[in-house]
Structure 1
Amino acid sequence: MKTDTISDMLTRIRNGNMVGHKVVKIDSTRITYRLIKLLKSEGFIKQYETVLKDGRKYIFVYLKYSDKTNRPLLRGLKRVSKPGLRVYVNKNQLPTVLGGQGIAILSTSRGILTNVQAKADGVGGELLCYIW
C-alpha cells in the first residue's frame, strides 16, 4: 500500500519524462485527479483521461514534449510537504519558483491552487510541490 500518492504520482511523471514515454499510468485518487487537472490547465501536460480497469480507477497522463528538440516541457518536479514533515505557508510567505517560470501547488481551504491563484485569493495552505 502506498502511503504518499502525491510522491508516487510525481515520481511516475518524472520517470516517464526521463525515458521519453508518451503516456504514464497513475492510480486515481481525488488529490491526484485535482493535481493532474491543474497541470493540464497550466500547460505542463498534453492531456489526461480516467479509465476503470479491473475494478480500479487509473489516470492516463499524456506527457508533453517540445516540437523542435523533443525535450519534455516538464523540467522538474519536487515534493515539498511530506507525510512525515508537513510544510505550511501563509499568504505572505507564498514562494516564487524559478523567478516565476515554475509553479508551486498548495492545498488551501479553497481547494488545490497554484501560488499565483493563492496570492490573488489571499490564502495560504499546505505547500505540496514545486513544478517547473
Structure 2
Amino acid sequence: MSMQTTDPIADLLTRIRNAKMVGKTEVRVPASNMKEVIAKKLAKSGYLADVKREAGKPRDTLVITINKAGENSTINEITRLSKPGRRVYVKADEIPRVKSGRGIVLVSTSQGVITGQEAVKARLGGELLLKVY
C-alpha cells in the first residue's frame, strides 16, 4: 500500500532536508515529471550533485545525490513557497532575490520550471515553487 501525499513537491524537499540533516549523501523518492524537473534544476544550479531516474516495477524512483562522499552539502535552507492551500503567483518584476543573489527561487512559468533570474530575463511571471540557498 502506497502513501498518498497532498503536496509531492513539499515531500521531496522534506526528504532532501532530512537526509542532509542526518548526513546522508543520497535520497530516493517516488518519481514524477515535476519532481524530476525541479531536482535537475537544483543540480544544474549546483545545489545537488546528481539526479537519476530508475525504472521500477510499480513506480519509477528518483535517486538524488545531495553531495559527494566526504563533501559538505551546498544547501543551507530549502523552503516551499507556494502550497496547495495558498498558491503564490508573481509578475516578472516581483520575483524575489534570495540572500542578495546568493540563493535562487524556482518559478513555474508557461515556459516550464525556470530559476528566478531566467524568469526576470525572459520577463515571465508564474507560481513561486521554492527558494534555496
TM-score bracket, normalised by the shorter chain, equals over 0.9
2:21 is aligned to: 18
Contact 1:66 1:72 in 2 (8 A): no
Deviation at 1:102, TM superposition (A): 0.3
Equivalent of 2:49 in 46, 49, 55: 46
Which structure's residues are more often strand, by fraction? Answer: 1
Aligned residues: 130
Contact 1:66 1:73 in 2 (8 A): no
Separation of aligned partners in 1, 2:131 and 2:106:
6
1:26-66 per-residue CA deviation (whole Å, 9 max, x = no partner) reads: 11111101001101110111111111233211100011269
1:56-106 per-residue CA deviation (whole Å, 9 max, x = no partner) reads: 111000112696xx4321111010100000000001101000000000011
Separation of aligned partners in 2, 1:25 and 1:118:
29
What secondary structure, in the 3-state scheme, does the structure 2 residue paired with 1:16 have? helix
TM-score (normalizing by structure 2): 0.93
Give the 5 Å matches for 1:29-108: 29-64=32-67, 70-108=71-109
The sequence identity of aligned pairs, in percent, is 33
Unaligned runs of 5+ in 1: none
Contact 1:81 1:87 in 2 (8 A): yes
Separation of aligned partners in 1, 2:114 and 2:102:
16
TM-score (normalizing by structure 1): 0.94
Task: Give the root-mean-square deviation of aligned CA atoms.
Answer: 1.3
Letter in 2 for 1:28: A
Letter in 2 for 1:60: V
1:27 is aligned to: 30
Runs of 4+ residues over 6 Å off in structure 1 = none
Q: Quickly say closer, same or farther: Cα 1:100–1:66, change in 2 above 3 A.
A: farther
